[in-house]
């Protein structure tokens, strides 16, 4: 048997059938393609329906995502828009209660307009998922680990239950946090999507989303919607994403090893750190039963909102920004930034700590990152240095 090539190899090896044997796929920056005759359309006629650069990207993505068919669209949210158009008015949909903020926004909007009937539940509880599903459930949206709370679902267990009992319910998994390097969700679900704005591209210079499926019927329906609505990824962005993909594996490896060092260091100081690579994570076993690693996003608590603000604003190497997956390290306070649109009561209901700091680790030198964070923690008063030892301050009394 021929050994399957590793993803580390596959991300850099691309075959393109360029007429001049260009070693990098050429960019077809054109909207139209001339026809040989009035009746012979040829393979491409109009870029909304298809473009060779986008095709090149989609075939490369299919290899990496182990999918029969992959589609590149204009953003991660664009993926969700396309996928929800598979539903009929009033269809029942189940979604996790800690999904990406934009996902929550679009699904609750569709629920409000009556387009879907939405049930939001804690999908980390497989029992609750089982008891909520019914013959009426047309689609289920899952995501793991969530961010910034880093909640983990038991995907294999949910998937087995769905396949056995509700094979007609379309299961959808947002794999942005793990990337195809750590998880191939199509083993478990019907549709996988990812915001390629994050790890897949890795440089924070394009917005893109990818949808993958192994179902012929679903891929036909998805193609119809993408062509009909015109949200296929533009040629230049497809070309940039092809370039970004080549370094996915080496970027991710460094980001993850940096994240492991940073989380171990913070935990050793006594902070509550949320990261699936730490044995202290309540779902450490579940996460590692189906993922090949832990990713590079984590969060930690200081017990003081003011101190968290000072820490975030006091770092020099970490950009204060939303999003993640880029080569640069980022730091944010979700309650003030990415998750500010969720009202405080809902945040409290979901036990969302207001002092939470989220860190998205880049590819810088890990010692530099730790030193920068250390200085910021010292300046903020979160830790003190006594006789050369770092001691965490008790901020809960402030
Ligand atoms: C960013 C993100 C999205 C949305 O992707 P965009 O490219 O920003 O539209 C969806 N899901 C997750 C988990 C994300 O992090």
Q: Return the closest-CA partner of residue 267 out of 375, 373, 360, 387.
A: 373
208 lies in the same domain as 271: no
Residues 98 and 233 in one domain: yes
Residues 34 and 141 in one domain: yes
Residues 225, 257, single domain; the answer is no
CATH number of the domain bearing residue 224: 3.40.640.10
CA atoms within 13 A on the CB side of 127: 0
Residue 174 a catalytic site member: yes
Between the CA of 258 and the centroid of ligand 1 the distance, in Å, is 22
Ligand 1 atom, smallest distance to 102 CA: 4
pLDDT of 368: 98
Distance 77 CA to ligand 1 centre (A): 6
Residues 165 and 273 in one domain: no
CA of 34 to the centre of ligand 1 (A): 36
User: What is the pLDDT, as a whole number, of residue 146?
Assistant: 95
In DSSP terms, 297 is beta-bridged to: 360
Q: Does any domain span residue 189?
A: yes
Same structural domain, 188 and 267: no
Task: Tell which residue, 15, 74, 53, has the closest CA to residue 226.
Answer: 74
Neighbours of 371 (CB within 10 A): 13
Which of 245, 261, 296 terminates a domain? The answer is 245
Enclosing domain of residue 381:
248-392
Ligand 1 center to residue 198 CA distance, Å? 7
Number of structural domains (the chain) is 2
Number of Cβ within 10 Å of residue 24's Cβ equals 12
- Distance CA(322)–CA(353), nearest Å, equals 17
Whether residue 349 is found in the same domain as residue 237:
no
- Given 100, 193, 199, 290, which residue is catalytic? 100
Residue 136 lies in a domain: yes
- Mean of pLDDT over the chain: 95
Query: Is the pLDDT confidence value at 335 over 90?
Result: no
| Catalytic option among 66, 198, 254, 303 | 198
Q: Are residues 85 and 213 in the same domain?
A: yes
Here the tokens at position 329 are: 């390290």
Question: According to the model, what pLDDT value does residue 26 have?
Answer: 94
Annotation says 18 is catalytic: no
Helix-strand-coil percent breakdown of the chain, rounded to 5? 40, 15, 45
Per-residue pLDDT tens digits for 279-303: 999 999 999 999 999 999 999 999 9
Residue 397 confidence (pLDDT): 63
More confident site: 210 or 341: 210
| Residues 253, 374 share a domain | yes
pLDDT at 287: 98
Instruction: Give me the long-range contacts of 160-166 (CB less than 8 A, separation at least 24).
Output: 161/126, 161/129, 161/130, 161/133, 162/133, 165/133, 166/133, 166/135, 166/137
Of the residues 245, 273, 297, the one at which a domain ends: 245
Task: For residue range 214-257, list pLDDT tens digits in order.
Answer: 999 999 999 999 999 999 999 999 999 999 999 999 999 999 99
257: left (phi over 0), alpha (psi -120 to 50) or beta: alpha
Let me know whether 105 and 221 are in one domain. yes
- For 129-145, the pLDDT digits (tens) are 999 999 999 999 999 99
Q: Which of 174, 190, 237, 355 is catalytic?
A: 174
Encoded tokens for 343:
């009202």
- Decide if 397 is inside a domain: no
Q: Distance between CA 179 and CA 173 in Å, rounded? A: 12
Q: Which residues pair with 391 in a beta bridge?
A: 384
User: Is 46 tagged catalytic?
Assistant: no
List the CATH number of the domain containing 306: 3.90.1150.10
DSSP state of 233: P
Q: Is 73 left (phi over 0), alpha (psi -120 to 50) or beta?
A: beta
The answer to whether residue 112 sits within a structural domain is yes
Active site residue 374: no
Q: Identify whether 1 is part of a domain.
A: no
Contact present, 348 and 395 (Cβ < 8 Å) = no
Q: What is the pLDDT at residue 17?
A: 80
CB atoms within 10 A of CB 15: 10
For atom 1 of ligand 1, which residue has the closest CA? 195
From 245, 268, 301, the end of a domain falls on: 245
pLDDT at res. 398: 58
- Element housing 23 (H / E): none
- The predicted pLDDT at position 183 comes to 98
Same domain, 188 and 222: yes
Does pTM surpass 0.75? yes
Q: Collect all residues with Cβ–Cβ distance below 8 Å to 71 and sequence separation of at least 6.
A: 58, 82, 210, 211, 212, 219, 222, 223, 226, 232
Domain co-membership, 206 together with 279: no
Q: pLDDT grade, residue 1 (50/70/90)?
A: low
């Amino acid at each position: 048997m021929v050994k399957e090539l590793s993803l580390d190899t596959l991300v850099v090896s691309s075959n393109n059938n360029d007429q001049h044997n260009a070693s990098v796929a050429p960019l077809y920056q054109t909207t139209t393609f001339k026809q040989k005759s009035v009746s012979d359309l040829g393979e491409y006629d109009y870029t909304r329906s298809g473009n060779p650069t986008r095709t090149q990207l989609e075939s490369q993505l299919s290899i990496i995502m182990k999918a029969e068919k992959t589609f590149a669209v204009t953003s991660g949210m664009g993926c969700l828009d396309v996928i929800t158009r598979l539903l009929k008015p009033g269809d029942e949909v189940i979604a996790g209660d800690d999904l990406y903020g934009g996902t929550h926004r679009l699904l609750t909007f569709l629920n409000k307009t009556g387009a879907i009937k939405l049930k939001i539940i804690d999908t980390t509880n497989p029992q609750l998922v089982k008891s909520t599903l019914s013959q009426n459930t047309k689609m289920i949206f899952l995501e793991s680990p969530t961010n910034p709370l880093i909640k983990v679902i038991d995907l294999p267990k949910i998937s087995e239950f769905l396949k056995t009992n509700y094979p007609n319910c379309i299961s959808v998994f947002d794999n942005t946090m793990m990337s195809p390097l750590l998880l191939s969700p199509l083993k478990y679900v019907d549709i996988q999507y990812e915001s390629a704005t994050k790890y897949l591209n890795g440089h924070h210079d394009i917005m893109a989303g990818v949808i993958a499926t192994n179902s012929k019927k679903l891929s036909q329906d998805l193609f119809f919607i993408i062509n009909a609505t015109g949200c296929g990824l533009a040629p230049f962005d497809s070309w940039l994403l092809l370039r970004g993909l080549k370094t996915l594996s080496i970027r991710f490896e460094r980001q993850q090893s940096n994240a492991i060092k940073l989380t171990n260091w913070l935990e050793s100081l006594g902070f509550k750190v949320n990261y699936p690579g730490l044995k202290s994570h309540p779902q450490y076993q579940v996460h590692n039963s189906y993922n090949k690693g832990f990713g590079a996003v984590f969060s930690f608590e200081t017990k003081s909102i003011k101190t968290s603000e000072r820490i975030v604003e006091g770092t020099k190497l970490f950009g204060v920004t939303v999003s993640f997956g880029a080569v640069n390290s980022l730091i944010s306070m979700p309650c003030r930034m990415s998750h500010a649109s969720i009202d405080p009561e809902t945040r409290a209901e979901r036990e969302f700590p207001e002092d939470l700091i989220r860190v998205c680790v880049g590819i810088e030198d890990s010692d530099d990152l730790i030193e920068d964070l250390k200085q910021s923690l010292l300046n903020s008063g979160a830790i003190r240095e006594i006789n050369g030892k770092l001691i965490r301050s008790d901020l809960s009394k402030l």
